[in-house]
Structure formats: structure tokens, C-alpha cells
């Protein structure tokens, strides 16, 4: 039960973050918003890391550099998310975002890209994405 509450709050925070970024970017600009919010988050996370001490710094050398650079994608994610919310509203933005996210996850898993262990996909995953697209069609058109 507690786990469900955490997961529910996580989803709420993710949406809130997009909405807050969209609001802030109107006043100070989108790149400024992306830089400022990630900087605040970075400082806060750094404090927590120092408190909980669960960092395994030596392990970083064993991780492929490509994976370590994933964070840089955050800049473009925030920019495109904010622009989408300005253009088509929160609900449609999140809906399209999730379809792209799960659709690409499906492709990555079935082809074993990026060193992900290759999975055999079944038809019900196609059906899941098709149902999501149907839902967006009901929403938007």
C-alpha cells in the first residue's frame, strides 16, 4: 500500500514538474528554466548523497561513457516537454510522450539495443500501444 502511494506521488511529481517548468519558462525562458531547475535539483541531490553515502564512486570507471552521458539528454527533454505543454496542453503532451516512451522501449527490448538483453515480444504489447493510441485519438481528434 505504501509502495502504491509512493508510485502515485512519483507520477504526480513528474507531471507537476512539467507544469511548473512550463509556467516558469514563460517568465524567464525555456533554457533558463531547464538550467535553473536542474541546478537546484543537482545541489539538493548532492546534499542527500553526502548524507546517505550510497555513492560507489570507484564503480563509475566500469560504466560505459555513453551511459554516463544520459543526463545531458535532460536539457532537450525539458525543452521539448515545456514546448509541447505550451502548444497542446498537459494531457495531450503527456499522452504522446508516454506513447513514444513505451513504443521506443518496445523497440529497444525487442532488438536488444544499448546492451539491453533481447526480449521476445508478444502480440499483447502491440495491442497495449494500439489501445494507447486509440485513447489519444479519443482525446485529441
Partner 1 sequence: MVLGLIMALMAGSLVCMQNIFNSKVSERAGSWATTVLVLGLGFLASLMIGLAFEGGRLFALHHMQSWYGFSGLIGVGVVICLVQGIRRLGPTYAVSIVLTSQLLFALLWDSLGWFGLTQVPLTFRQILGVLVIIAGVIIFKFSGERRAA
Please list every residue from 79 through 98 that binds partner 1, using CB under 8 A.
Answer: 79-81, 83-98
Q: Is 115 in the site for partner 1 (CB under 8 A)?
A: yes
Shortest approach of partner 1 to residue 103 CB, angstroms? 8
Q: Is 7 in the site for partner 1 (CB under 8 A)?
A: yes
Q: Is 95:139 a contact under the CB 8 Å cutoff?
A: yes
Shortest approach of partner 1 to residue 58 CB, angstroms? 9
Cα 12 from Cα 129, distance rounded (Å)? 22
DSSP 8-state secondary structure symbol assigned to residue 1: -
Q: Is 125:85 a contact under the CB 8 Å cutoff?
A: no
Considering only residues 111, 112, 118, 119, which one is a binding residue for partner 1 as defined by CB under 8 A?
119
Neighbours of 93 (CB within 10 A): 22
Phi then psi dihedrals of residue 119, to 5 deg: -115, 145
Q: What's the angle, vertex CA 3, arms to CA 85 and CA 136, rounded to 5?
A: 30
Closest CA to 71 of 50, 63, 26: 63
Q: Is 111 in the site for partner 1 (CB under 8 A)?
A: no
Q: Is 112 in the site for partner 1 (CB under 8 A)?
A: no
Q: Is 12 in the site for partner 1 (CB under 8 A)?
A: yes
Shortest approach of partner 1 to residue 65 CB, angstroms? 11
Shortest approach of partner 1 to residue 1 CB, angstroms? 9
Q: Which residue is it, cell 506521488?
A: 9
Binders in 15-54 for partner 1, by CB under 8 A: 15-17, 19-24, 26-29, 31-42, 44-46, 48-49, 52, 54
Shortest approach of partner 1 to residue 133 CB, angstroms? 8
Amino acid at each position: 500500500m505504501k509502495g502504491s502511494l509512493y508510485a502515485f506521488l512519483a507520477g504526480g511529481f513528474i507531471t507537476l514538474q512539467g507544469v511548473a517548468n512550463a509556467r516558469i519558462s514563460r517568465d524567464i525562458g525555456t533554457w533558463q528554466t531547464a538550467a535553473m531547475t536542474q541546478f537546484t535539483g543537482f545541489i539538493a541531490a548532492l546534499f542527500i548523497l553526502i548524507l546517505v553515502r550510497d555513492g560507489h564512486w570507484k564503480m563509475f570507471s566500469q560504466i560505459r561513457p555513453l551511459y554516463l552521458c544520459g543526463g545531458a539528454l535532460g536539457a532537450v527533454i525539458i525543452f521539448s516537454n515545456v514546448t509541447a505543454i505550451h502548444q497542446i496542453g498537459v494531457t495531450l503532451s503527456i499522452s504522446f510522450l508516454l506513447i513514444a516512451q513505451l513504443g521506443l522501449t518496445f523497440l529497444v527490448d525487442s532488438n536488444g539495443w544499448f546492451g539491453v538483453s533481447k526480449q521476445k515480444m508478444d502480440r499483447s504489447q502491440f495491442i497495449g500501444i494500439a489501445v494507447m493510441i486509440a485513447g489519444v485519438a479519443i482525446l485529441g481528434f
